[in-house]
Amino acid sequence: MKGIFTLGEKDAETIEKIDAAKQEVDDLRDGYATLKSTLSSDDGDGGKVGELQSLETLFGEQCWELRKK
């Protein structure tokens, strides 16, 4: 049976590739969680989404003030 003695070597390489891929997936998940928490806070009103909403409200109020003049 040809190749039966190299089977273990290929398995070790495959296991190393799988471990590297799992580490990459974990890193990507951590990065995603960080970006998601920056975008919106735990309560949903903070973060960049909350900042955008407050800026849009302020902009609208300023536009109405200019329109009234």
Report pLDDT digits (tens) over 14-36: 888 999 999 999 999 999 999 98
Q: What is the 3-state secondary structure (H, E, C) of 1-69?
A: CCCCCCHHHHHHHHHHHHHHHHHHHHHHHHHHHHHHHHHCCCCCCCHHHHHHHHHHHHHHHHHHHHHHC
Please give the residue range of the domain that contains residue 53. Answer: 44-69
Residue 59 counted as domain residue: yes
Output the pLDDT for position 24: 97
pLDDT confidence of 13, banded at 50, 70, 90? Answer: confident
Asked whether the beta carbons of 5 and 11 are under 8 A apart, the reply is no
Angle at CA 19, nearest 5°, toward 14 and 20?
95
Domain count, the chain: 1
Report the mean per-residue pLDDT for the chain.
84
Is the overall model pTM greater than 0.85, yes or no? no
Residue 60 lies inside a defined structural domain of this protein: yes
Q: Tokens 């900042």 label which residue? A: 51
